[in-house]
Structure 1
Amino acid sequence: MIIGYARTSTLDQVAGIEAQVRDLTAAGCEKIFQEQVSSVDVARREQLELALEFTREGDTLVVTRLDRLARSVSHLLGIMETLRGRGAELRILGMGIDTATPTGKLMLTVLSGVSEWEREIMLERQRIGVEKAKREGKYKGRKPSAMLKSDEVRRLKADGLGATEIATRLGIGRASVYRVLSADA
């Protein structure tokens, strides 16, 4: 069976998920798992887990691009090990890679290493740019959103709620609740 997996990072990327589903359908996918969750976050990617569990011997998991599937080389290798253990293969449409062939396996490993290197270089450049902007007084950083809710935090605390419940209700981190409350002490 040919199984597809589509992912976008945010709910705003409706066209992106639709395009992936269209391409996966055109590639002959009989079942498509799809989700909208960031690959960078450590959030569980439930549909990917379900797709991997669904695969059986002789199946092929198909994605449109490598970055839709794996966060890093080690994550990719873990996915590949899972597929191999199930007797399944991986095909990446945008790269023309199919792990059913030895060349496909080699190319996937090499290209994923280059992709991870490229991402690390980009992050390093970003850090350098932020440092330069800070030195020049141009970098302001993110506005402290939790502190904007400090009055609400205090009110809920006065109502007898605990930090976890306050954080949940206000959509902020528990540490931010403690930070607001400790500023009052």
Structure 2
Amino acid sequence: MATYGYARVSSSSQSLTIQQEALRAFGCEVVRAETRTGTKFEGRTELETLLQFARTGDRIVVTRIDRLARSIADLAGIVKRMEANGVHLTAIEQPVDTTTAAGRCFLQMLGVFAEFETAIRRERQMEGIAKAKAEGAFKGRKPSIDAVRVKELAASGMGGTAIARELNVSRASVYRLMSATD
């Protein structure tokens, strides 16, 4: 029976060091780490490697549940895969140990709070963007297509496909601009 650690941060400006040290101190023989969002499972190759590699009786350890998943659906899916393979989950900083009923219960509660925290953060971000737009401070990204140039080329008799090729943009973008001026 082996003990594997999993560490995750969301951005490259964050450090994995504290998590990795805590996992090694806990006794993890192998620690896999990655810099990826925790809001979705897709693209998290290190976690996928651990899930495929771990065998019955092995344990996967995280420092906190939010390092594993930030949504109930992903957390439930990950835990279900682990349980199907007889792999246990432990969170060092929280009373989570899937070998006990209390640990499984606490895992579910923490998952709810992790998803709630993500939703609240997203709401605050959207409120901030709306406020910045209202104050004229946020204008979104710059247009990727020169609308004036599209209109000039269309006025000269050039078709949408030719304009798209000329400006190296999608035909859909050109046609959208052309129909907006009609």
TM-score in same-fold range (> 0.5): yes
Question: Does the 8 A contact of 1:37 with 1:43 survive in 2?
Answer: no
Aligned residues: 163
RMSD of aligned Cα (Å): 3.0
**1:82-161 alignment, distance < 5 Å:** 82-134=81-133, 136-144=134-142, 146=144, 157=165
Structure 2 spans left out of the alignment, 5+ residues: 147-164
- Partner-residue secondary structure (3-state), 2:8: strand
Counterpart in the other structure of 2:4: 3
Which structure is higher in helix share?
A: 1
Distance 1:178 1:92, change over 3 A: farther
Counterpart in the other structure of 2:34: 35
Q: Percent identity?
A: 33
* Separation in structure 1 between the aligned mates of residue 139 and residue 104 of structure 2, nearest angstrom: 42
> What TM-score, normalized by structure 2, do the two folds share?
0.74
Distance 1:88 1:8, change over 3 A: same
Distance 1:97 1:128, change over 3 A: same
Higher Rg: 2
Structure 1 spans left out of the alignment, 5+ residues: 149-156, 160-165, 167-175
One-letter code of the match for 2:7? A
**Following TM superposition, where does structure 1 have runs of at least 4 consecutive aligned residues deviating by more than 4 angstroms?**
145-148, 176-185
> What TM-score, normalized by structure 1, do the two folds share?
0.73
